[in-house]
Structure 1
Amino acid sequence: MEAGIDVPLDDRSGEQGVAVDRRDLSMLPKAHLHLHFTGSMSHRTLLQVAEACGEPVDAVAGAPAFATDATTARGWARFQRRYDLARRVVRSEAAMRTIVRCAAVDEAAEGSRRLEIQVDPTSYAPWVGGLQAALEIVLDEARAASRDTGVQIGVIVAASRMRHPLDARTLARLASRYAGQGPGEVVAFGLNADEHHGDTTRFEGAFRIADRAGLPSVPHGGELRGPEHIRTVLDYLHPTRLGHGVRAAEDPVLLDLLVERSVALEVCPVSNVQLGVYCTTGDVPLRTLVDAGAQVALGADDPLLFGARLVDQYRVARDVLGFTDAELAGLARASLRASTAPEADKQRWLAEVDDWLAAPASRELLAS
């Protein structure tokens, strides 16, 4: 288990171990709907990209343990500093292609059938000839990596709350030109960065532009700020999925509204803890959300900074929050249904989830 993830302990004292039936979570078909472009890198990929651009590793990471000392990295300010340090080495077409390619390989190893990776091309545009060129590089490599790995990759163009809403409109127009459902197409439009910055209502125009092109709305909301901000996002940005949304658990009426409107929640338990939203993964109200009928798609957010990938989130659900294999299969189904993939692909993958659950489980001995 990576550092920074709660390691569950069996509380039955006096036993040498407990035998349980467990299926391999890396074989569970699933969709990954909440993964940021630069943050998708493993530490190994970061070093590869940094070396290629001649950036000293210490200047990028602060220390070789960049992705393994996350227990001390709570709070948005430190997270943003580290993200910016990593992003500054992504300054070539080759680096951008490496990130997409490595993300696809990592997702294939974890059983993902669909990846919807989120990118703001603004950060990379100066190095590759502009916004359009930056986005086209990501889309082109997404098509190639989808073909080579079998993981279907769609791209979410996301604006930043830290920039002017007019910049978001520019990105929405750009995203609209490449809208579609398939690999190497823009599949949705989002809004990210610290929820405390920017006036959410002023981004409504950008989302209207994206909506006219048929792009679903997938903004962040309900992590650093609570239910009142989720209501603002609902009223002005009309999401089909909500990035995080975990704090809807604090307001049962709001949670019922999300269920009624079929707004899926992209819940990232490990990053919730690393950013100080909850003290431990045991405090993440995943059970509350699921029991209320919410569609929940687990996500890794930024594995580079939080030291945990997608399967780790499922392990938290199983080992810390007590989800059974049948319930984990339910989470995987919800992620597939909430994706923007073509319906025929969803149905094929859903059948594969059924096959995973029907297969015999392996006997494992858990330490007491």
Structure 2
Amino acid sequence: MSDGAGRGPATGAEPSASRPVGTLPKAHLHLHFTGSMRVETVREMARSHGLRLPATLTTDYPPLFDAADRRGWFRFQRLYDVARACVRGEADMRRIVREAALDDGAEGSRWLEIQVDPTSYAPFVGGITPALEIVLDEAAEVSRVPGAAQVAVVVAASRMRHPLEARTLARLAARYAGSGAGTVVGFGLSNDERRGDTAEFAAAFGIARRAGLASVPHAGELLGAEAVAATLEAAVPDRIGHGVRSVEDPRVLDRVVEAGVALEVCPGSNVSLGVYDVPEEVPLRRLLSAGATVALGADDPLIFGSRLAEQYETARTVHGLSDAELAGLARASFAASRAPAEVRAAAERDIAAWLEDPGGG
């Protein structure tokens, strides 16, 4: 990258030495709580609660989505809802956080900002406050385990619900705002971006910003650049979940770059959901060439069948990024994160060491 922070492709870069991406230190900024689960975990939870899973999560796993099928999102959402229904209490919630941290750590992630809507799990644990506290407590616990990623939390509202609920969640998030593992570091807005008016959620993002939380809404995946423009106005984001379709309007992409808004690009889910037909169409190179700060994410590995390291591998094999450019993406992920200074400094040293070692070890 031109500045080592995910802003534009490197010039005259050495050919990739194919160092293992699993040893490259990374921050993971786009991972949903239920979607982070191992498929074996959701199967075990279903059995323990006497629930039946569809074949796409058992014998026909991983699910396949037809890119030409405009109902792909609804099929995805049904599967996600089925998996979420298997999470029935504190033990299940703690297991998800712990396994996400261990799985991310095993493939080089040092810092994870996991996104959760506590209203989804509140009925089983006595409310949204206990639900969030369980996640935060386990995040703090597992962050002390050697080899695990350190975990912070992004509280996410659903644009399928009333904006007043988003304000409630923003106030809850603000109560637990912090700057390290086991704290809330951001506030997001997720679900089908074709539903709801983003402007109606502006007040919730205002509450979050005043508490010092990062503003990290989804936009520019199912809708085009106009949705990114609307989100820039309403949410004043620090990062945008996805945002890939900002390339459809150079003026909008210029605004993203000028504002320093990072894009959480999730190549695997973009293709699975039919946003792009094939991996080559994901505009990773175009975003980087425009100067955008890009942090790769896995989105929902349970549904899409690929984790964070695979996104880096795709960047290398499909988009032709050199090892120096992959290191730039990793640096960008930390720069866009809310990781503490000491975590960033250690990652910077180890990213440099990864590049200096031809074996990437």
1:92 to 82, 89, 92: 89
Partner residue, 2:254: 256
TM-score (norm. length: structure 2): 0.92
Partner in structure 1 of residue 192 of structure 2: 194
The 5-angstrom pairing of residues 284-295 of structure 1 reads: 284-295=282-293
Shift of residue 212 of structure 1? 1.2
| TM-score scaled by length of structure 1 | 0.90
Q: What is the letter of the counterpart of residue 230 of structure 1?
A: V
Structure 1 vs Structure 2 CA RMSD: 1.6
1:165 has 2:159 as partner: no
Structure 2 residue corresponding to 1:274, chosen from 268, 272, 275: 272
Letter in 1 for 2:293: Q
The offset of 1:150, in angstroms, is: 3.8
SS in 2 for 1:157: strand
The 5 Å alignment of 1:347-366 reads: 347-361=345-359
Counterpart pick for 1:37 among 33, 36, 39:
33
| 2:153 alignment partner, SS class | strand
Q: CA deviation at 1:333?
A: 0.6
Q: Runs of 4+ in structure 1 displaced over 6 angstroms?
A: none
Unaligned runs of 5+ in 1: 1-18, 363-368
- 1:21 is displaced (CA, Å) by 3.2
Tell me the amino acid that sits aligned with residue 298 of structure 1.
L
CA contact (8 A) 1:158 1:192 kept: yes
Q: Residues of 2 paired with 1:20 and 1:235: CA distance?
A: 39
| C-alpha deviation, 1:344, in angstroms | 2.8
Per the TM alignment, residue 179 of structure 1 is displaced from its structure 2 partner at its CA by 0.1
Query: In the alignment, is residue 155 of structure 1 matched against residue 153 of structure 2?
Result: yes
Assess if the C-alpha contact under 8 Å between 1:66 and 1:305 holds in 2.
Answer: no
The corresponding residue for 2:58 is 64
User: CA distance change for structure 1 residues 91 and 322 in 2, over 3 Å: closer, same or farther?
Assistant: same
Tell me the equivalent position of 1:180: 178
What do residues 138-167 of structure 1 show as CA deviations (whole Å, max 9, x unaligned)?
000000111114411010000000000000
Question: In the aligned structure 2, how far is the partner of 1:63 from the partner of 1:295?
Answer: 34
Q: Separation in 1 of the partners of 2:60 and 2:228?
A: 32
Contact 2:17 2:323 in 1 (8 A): no
The amino acid that maps onto 2:31 is L
Distance, in Å, in 2 between the alignment partners of 1:308 and 1:150 is 19
Residue correspondence of structure 1 range 100-111 to structure 2 within 5 A? 100-111=97-108
Q: Does 1:112 align with 2:109?
A: yes
Taking structure 1 as reference, are residues 63 and 29 closer, same or farther at Cα in structure 2, changes over 3 Å only?
A: closer
Give the deviation of 1:52 after TM superposition.
2.8
SS of equivalent residue, structure 1 residue 22: coil
Partner of 1:21, secondary structure, is coil
Q: State how many pairs are aligned.
A: 342
Q: Distance in 2 between matches of 1:279 and 1:177?
A: 42
After superposition, the Cα gap between the structure-2 partners of 1:238 and 1:67, relative to the gap in structure 1 and judged at 3 Å, is: farther
1:24 aligns with 2:20: yes
What is the aligned counterpart of 1:345 among 338, 343, 352? 343
Shift of 1:67: 4.1
Residue 171 of structure 1 deviates from its aligned partner by 0.3
Amino acid across the alignment from 2:355: L
Aligned-partner residue type, residue 70 of structure 1: L
Give the structure 2 partner of residue 10 of structure 1.
none
- The gaps in structure 2 that reach 5 residues or longer are 1-14
Offset from partner CA, 1:258-312 (integer Å, 9 cap, x none) = 1111100000001001111100011000000011111100000000110010011
Do the aligned partners of 1:33 and 1:297 also contact (CA within 8 Å) in 2? yes
Correspondence 1:51 to 2:47: yes
Q: Distance in 1 between matches of 2:66 and 2:39?
A: 17
Find the aligned partners of 1:63 and 1:217 in 2 and give their Cα distance.
33
The corresponding residue for 1:212 is 210
Identity of aligned residues (%): 59
